[in-house]
Amino acid sequence: MKTLFVALVALLFAFFLGCQSSITDPVDQESTTFNSNVQEQTSAYKDAFNFKYPSSLKLQGTLLDPSHRPNGYAEISGVVRYGVKEIKGGIKLENALEFYKTAPSGTPDKKFRVDIFVDADLKGGHNHAWSVEKAAEQTIIINSANQSTTYIQKSFRVKNTCCAPLDLVLKFQVNGKELKLVSMELKLVDGLYNDKSKIVFE
């Protein structure tokens, strides 16, 4: 009789534990909603980023490091993401360099916005890990009669430099809706004011 009672208690205990994890228990909606929102936000951010910067250029090579003279060098590796989009409409844009010539055909000027995002790692003096992670943009207005080549130059502050503040200066050639990397160099930051962008026609 005692054995039967112990077996009955064990059976009830096992049944009780099984009911605690029943498939009919409600799901923790709060946790599921949170995870779903994070995934949706991450996916939306990636979609927006890829839409704004659909193209890419590789950064790789050795740069002269002016903060460790006379023989200082820094290795760079990374990527430039970019997008070039035509802007339509008669909106007046600031920070736009206009280059006018009279077009024989009377073709209107075209406006383009160039969006750039640099993500690069550098190994500088004493093997310090430096980095660049910054966005920039430039609006250009090109007259159809102008057959010259357009260049954009941008400066990006290098993070975690050890001995002096440095800028990574990149020069791009604009070919329609494509950018070509013409040059890259490290420059010492001179003073509080520094002209961060330039467009050159040659």
Tell me the pLDDT tens digit for each residue of 4-39. Answer: 555 666 666 666 566 555 455 555 555 566 666 777
Query: Model confidence over 74-128: pLDDT tens digits?
Result: 999 999 999 999 998 654 544 444 443 444 555 677 889 999 999 999 998 677 7
- Contact predicate 81/117, CB 8 Å: yes
Q: Kindly state the helix (H) or strand (E) to which residue 129 belongs, with its residue range.
A: strand 129-142
Report the pLDDT value the prediction gives residue 189, as an integer from 0 to 100: 92
User: In the Cβ-directed half-sphere of 38, how many Cα atoms lie within 13 Å?
Assistant: 6
> Model-level pTM greater than 0.85?
no
Q: How far apart (Å, rounded) are the C-alpha atoms in residues 145 and 165?
A: 42
What are the residues whose beta carbons fall under 8 Å from the beta carbon of 74, sequence distance 6 or more?
62, 63, 64, 65, 122, 123, 124, 125, 130, 186
